[in-house]
Chains A and B, each alone.
Chain A
Amino acid sequence: MMRRMFKICTLAALVAYGGGAAQAERVRVTGEVVDTWCALTGIMFAAGTAHHQCAVWCAAGGIPVSIKTSDGAYYVVLRIEDDDSSATSDTFVKIQSHEVSVDGELHERDGVKYLFVSKVADDKGVVNLTHSDFGIVPFGN
């Protein structure tokens, strides 16, 4: 009886454990730093210089920033370099709307890509100049 109980418990544990968390993948991602909410909801201008101020507010307010690549994919950034305590950091507030290349670990779940950035490998600054399309004064007055 005890042996059978042991077998059942072991089986239950294995079923509950499953395969464990998926392995992370080392990646380099290049794209524009955007605030995830505005970009996904498509409100306002949501990209480039026309959206820069809003993007900074969102990042400073705690919305996870994403890197939007040229193929339209979003990588939600959950950590940047040594800042493990927040989804955003001073670094990311400063480089909002910039085109960057970052190295990091990619975790993908239910179609959402999460990125743990270990290093900002390249920062080209703001290259998506959308402000003239919307009559916006970029970076405030």
Chain B
Amino acid sequence: MTRRRGMQRSIPVLTALVAGLLLLTASARANEDPLAKRFGGPFELTASSGQRVSDVSLHGRLLLISFGYTHCPDICPTTLVLMTEALEKLGPSGDAIQPIFITVDPQRDTPTQLAAFARSFHPRLLMLTGTETEIASVAKAYRVHRHKFLFPGQSATDVNYGVDHGSLMYLMGVDGRFLTLIPYGATAERIAEVLRRYAVTRAGP
């Protein structure tokens, strides 16, 4: 009886030890990974719900991040459809991954605009916007180029401008460090294949 009680008391200790070791080893792996700090960094943005979200508040989840804007006629919706399909292919293991869309066009992409746009895609898609300074900072951290341009015949005051921007998808680890990059053009099957490897172990490369 005493022995069993002793074992029961040991379970939380054991759990804490295992968790500590997992974090330490994940950190050791990230430190020796030459790619870990090449993309990404701290950010604080506003979700479509109006809540403020930071990189730290998302720690503990794998993050699948894409950049774009809601007025994008082709690349952004396509990317989000592929992201949605890939996560659906993963089934329950996809729950470990938080899909995120960060706007490159904070002028037009208000939280309300983002919320309306998100309805067409994955139900857990987190849509983020911010001030021009916040978006410029996060774009720089992820090495996302963005460039506002006008279509032929438009004036400088026209609100139907376009935005050139990077179209890569980034998978970030549970500690916020870069894991892998998914180039534009990957199929939903290929994206799922890459994600599955990380979603199952929640570990680095």
Contact = CB atoms under 8 A, between A and B. Distances in A.
Range of interface residues on chain B? 35 or more
Given A12-B22, A62-B143, A87-B143, A5 B14 contact: yes
Contact of A21 (B18, B32, B147, B197): B32
Interface stretch (A26-34, A93-101, A104-112, A125-133): A104-112
Q: Assign chain A's interface to a size class.
A: 35 or more
A74 B28 CA distance: 29
Contacts of B150: none
Contacts of A78: 35, 38
B29 interface: yes
Contacts of B184: 37, 40-41
A64 B194 CA distance: 21
A134 interface: no
A20 B139 CA distance: 29
A62 B144 contact: yes
B33 A13 contact: no
Q: Of A74, A112, A116, which is in contact with the most chain B CB atoms at under 10 Å from its CB?
A: A112
B205 interface: yes
A110 B143 contact: no
B48 interface: no
B29 A13 contact: no
A40 to B, nearest CB: 5
A22 B143 contact: no
B140 interface: yes
A114 B35 CA distance: 8
A3 to B, nearest CB: 12
Given A1-B10, A62-B140, A110-B194, A40 B32 contact: no
Interface of B: 6-7, 10, 13-14, 17-18, 21-22, 24-26, 28-29, 32-35, 38, 75, 139-140, 143-147, 166-168, 180-185, 194, 197, 203-205
26 contacts: A1-B7, A5-B10, A9-B14, A16-B21, A16-B22, A16-B25, A16-B203, A18-B203, A21-B32, A21-B204, A24-B34, A37-B145, A40-B184, A40-B185, A41-B184, A61-B146, A62-B143, A63-B143, A76-B181, A107-B34, A109-B181, A109-B205, A110-B180, A110-B181, A112-B180, A116-B34
Interface of A: 1, 5, 8-9, 12-13, 16-18, 20-22, 24, 36-37, 40-41, 57-58, 61-64, 74, 76, 78, 87-88, 105, 107, 109-112, 114, 116
